Chain A
Amino acid sequence: GDVLLPAPQSISILSTNMKHFLTWSPVIVQGATVRYSVEFQGEYEREYANGSWIPISECSLTTATVCNITEDISATVAYKLRVRAELGATRSPWGTTKGFFSRAMTSLTPPVLRVVADGHHVLVELADMGPSFQFHVLYWKKGQESRVQQKVVKEVSSVVHLDTMEAGAEYCVKARAHVEAINRSSSFSPTQCVRAQGDTSVWL
């Protein structure tokens, strides 16, 4: 006879650095492969499109219990997500996220920063965190903490020139990630200091 499929449980969203994933617990049916389908609903669909839901094709009839929803959570509004189990023609009820999810709730980690001195020049290399990110890079001459300068770095595919240093002086640098779309920043990376004339960076 037809199996009664329960709705997936423990549905939650993991979101770090503007990458969002929906996860849920597997529905177990002995000797059978259960598949899942995921749909999303933004505030627009709730208020202007009769509460309609939009399927995520990459997570339709998937056997995985995780779905990358980053591409669809692409506006700063409140979203709802739902998932159901499917086994042949049998479908479970929808399991829906409790409450709403907005990408403004993502957790932001400090950027990975490498500071290099090359002659009189201080340069920074920042690990790419994705298209939503830019970086606030703060730098100052050691001992002159009150005269901090800031540079906004958007292109991270390379070694970015920060500034020129006075001979023999030591300069310190730290950076944080910033997402304009949600107007939030991460905490700062640890400070790194370098000395003019080719010193390697020193962790503080």
Chain B
Amino acid sequence: LGACRVSMSMTEVRAGFTAIKANIQSRDPIRTLSILSHPHSLHKVKSSDRCCITHQLFTFYVDKVFKHCRTEDSFVNRKISSIANSFLSARRKLGQCHEQNKCVCGEESTEKFKQILANYEGLNVTSAAMKSLGELDILLDWMEKSR
């Protein structure tokens, strides 16, 4: 991500998400709305803004998403904990880079992130959180493609 590096084991987070993907996505009945991919796709973000968008999205998931995704399924809760703690660890590293001004937020990423928050706030909090968690592979696909 330019001068910054995301130190997160994508393999572990991928494996954790794949294990609960069907369960989580089945709890999201809304086909016509996406938090991350519409109307603006992550894949259209300029490379210079990639670091900042990643940092904002890690903060979004840590602050807003994971805490509202508790389920009745112990296995799912344990995998969510694993992903949440991985995001927390990665966000801290990116935060340090952000403080050293190597992860600057341009206008586009600020606009893009505003749109994501608007999509999120357009739903009730549990539906929005579960939909966001179900879209984790959209974020991981984008992060891997831009590595």
Please give the residue numbers on chain A whose beta carbons come within 8 Å of chain B beta carbons, in ascending order.
40, 42-45, 47-49, 54-57, 71-72, 74-77, 131-132, 180-181, 183
Contacts and interface: CB of A to CB of B under 8 A. Distances in A.
Interface residues of B, number: 21
A74 B86 CA distance: 8
A181 B84 contact: no
A44 B9 contact: no
A35 B9 CA distance: 35
Given A48-B62, A49-B67, A75 B78 contact: no
Contacts of B84: 42, 44, 48
Interface in B44-99: 62-63, 66-67, 74-75, 77-78, 81-82, 84-89
B100 to A, nearest CB: 19
A43 B88 contact: yes
A48 B78 contact: no
Given A56-B78, A75-B89, A48 B66 contact: yes
B78 A54 contact: yes
Contacts of B11: 131
A75 to B, nearest CB: 3
B82 A183 contact: no
B74 A75 contact: no
Contact of A72 (B12, B81, B86, B87): B81
B18 to A, nearest CB: 13
A180 B146 CA distance: 20
A56 B12 CA distance: 19
B85 A54 contact: no
Nearest to B12: A74
Majority-rule SS of B interface residues? helix
B82 A75 contact: yes
Contacts of B16: 74
B88 A75 contact: yes
Contacts of A49: 66-67
A42 B9 contact: no
Given A75-B89, A181-B12, A54 B81 contact: yes
Contacts of B85: 42-44, 74-75, 77
Nearest to B15: A131
A44 B88 CA distance: 7
Contacts of B67: 48-49
A78 to B, nearest CB: 9
B78 A72 contact: yes
A115 to B, nearest CB: 28
A48 B78 CA distance: 15
Given A74-B16, A75-B88, A45 B75 contact: no
Contact of B86 (A48, A75, A180): A75
B41 interface: no
Given A72-B81, A72-B82, 14 more contacts: A40-B81, A44-B81, A44-B85, A45-B81, A48-B66, A48-B67, A48-B84, A54-B81, A57-B74, A75-B85, A75-B86, A75-B89, A132-B9, A181-B9
B110 interface: no
29 contacts: A40-B81, A42-B81, A42-B88, A43-B85, A43-B88, A44-B66, A44-B85, A44-B87, A45-B81, A47-B88, A48-B62, A48-B63, A48-B66, A48-B67, A48-B88, A49-B66, A54-B77, A55-B74, A56-B78, A72-B78, A72-B82, A74-B12, A74-B86, A75-B85, A76-B89, A77-B85, A131-B11, A132-B9, A181-B12
